[in-house]
Amino acid sequence: MASKPPLVIYIPARAKKSCHFYEIKPSPSTYKTKLPYLPRNFCIGLSNGYLIMEDILTNVWVINPITGHELRYPQLFETSNFLYCPDRAVFASIGDAKDNFLLVVLAPAYKKLMFFVSRVNQWQQFSYGGSNWSIVDIVIFKGRIFCVTSEYQIGVLSVKTCGVILLNLKGTPQLSNIRNVSFVASKNQLLVIDFPLHIHHLELYTIDLLKMEWVKVNRLRDENEAIFLGNHMSSRLSNATNWGGQGNRIYFLPFIEKNAGCHIYSLKGERLGRFPIMKQKGTSRMDGWFFPGECVSLDNVKDE
């Protein structure tokens, strides 16, 4: 599975049980799988090979579409979601424990970061409602949950203290707009990508946690890797040369676009090409990147 290219996972707007997978290749293969009941469910994350779903009553469940492994969680909030759900989530295991999982949900409407540790068996929360900043994205990096704020601050979630520690970093840049910013992690790099598509301009920064500073870069540390940008829920770095792709590229997936494709950009923001991948009628409820190599293993996070 690790030699497979990243797949575009697509759930049609009217789907009841089916989701589709598309390869980004000149002659792509397509796949289809069945999921439990989909109507009135929102996808709020694609993390570690799992789809993270939230229903209109704010109950949450995660499912691996390849293995079928599924976990269900209690209600997040009493207020229901009907037409739109802005929540985002990541999923990981805690340490070496086989059945101890961590689910983190960013709920911007409530200005809260909710998290559920299996052995605690209840939702815990960090509220940033009294702050002059908000959390806009979360990622897993080197065993910790990192967040980026509306003021371009980088923070770390402490599960034990139920708090977010904002890091004192040097050299914070002036970025174009928080809406253009993507927070991306790999095994070795934590990146912030400023990518305003309307002007085809890109700036790339790595967060150096040893020197505690932002560092502007022009190339990725591993030149076999490429950046895969999704709908703010499935972006990450991945080795592209394993399946015949090119490193030091951005594979960008627009959200809810009829007959959409995967657009390829250089790290300078130059458009280099496009893979057509979707020929479904109507709009999609969700599309994003799914990495087959993650479907049988989970990132671990430290319980600290």
> What Rg value do the Cα atoms of the chain yield, rounded?
18
pLDDT at 245: 85
In this predicted structure, which of 28-37, 89-98, 179-188, 260-269 has the lowest mean pLDDT? Answer: 28-37
CA–CA distance, 259 with 229 (Å, rounded to integer)? 18
Rounded to whole angstroms, how far apart are CA atoms 12 and 278? 11
For the chain, the straight-line distance linking the first and the last C-alpha, in angstroms and rounded, comes to 32
113, 118, 119, 124: CA torsion to nearest 10 = 20
Ordered by where they begin, the domains of the chain are: 7-301 (2.120.10)
pTM of the model as a whole: 0.89
pLDDT band at 260 (very low <50, low <70, confident <90, very high): low
Contact between 181 and 215 under an 8 Å Cβ cutoff? The reply is no
pLDDT for position 4: 74
The 10s digit of each residue's pLDDT in 273-302 is: 888 775 555 555 566 888 877 776 778 887
* Beta carbons of 194 and 202 less than 8 angstroms apart: yes
pLDDT in tens, 98-134: 788 999 999 999 999 999 998 888 999 999 998 999 9
Place 3 in a pLDDT band, splitting at 50, 70 and 90. Answer: low
Give yes or no for residue 147 having a pLDDT over 60.
yes
Please report where in the chains the tokens 């969700």 appear, as a residue.
286
pLDDT: is 177 or 34 the higher one? 177
Categorize the per-residue pLDDT at 204 as very low, low, confident or very high, splitting at 50, 70 and 90: very high
Q: What is the percent of the chain where pLDDT is above 90?
A: 37
Helix or strand run (H / E) with residue 251: strand 249-252
Quick one: pLDDT at residue 279?
56
Q: 233 Cβ partners below 8 Å, 6+ apart?
A: 43, 44, 45, 46, 47, 88, 89, 288
Which strand ranges, in their side-by-side order, compose the sheet holding 249-252?
A: 236-239, 225-229, 249-252, 261-266, 271-276
Helix/strand/coil for 154: strand
Q: Of the candidates 117, 61, 122, which has an alpha carbon nearest to the alpha carbon of residue 92? A: 117
Distances (CA, A) of 164 to 143, 147, 174, 246: 15, 8, 23, 37
Percentage of the chain beyond pLDDT 70 is 88
pLDDT tens per residue across span 212-256: 999 999 989 888 999 998 866 778 888 888 888 889 999 988 765
Confidence check: pLDDT of 143 > 80: yes
What does the pLDDT average to over 154-177? Answer: 92
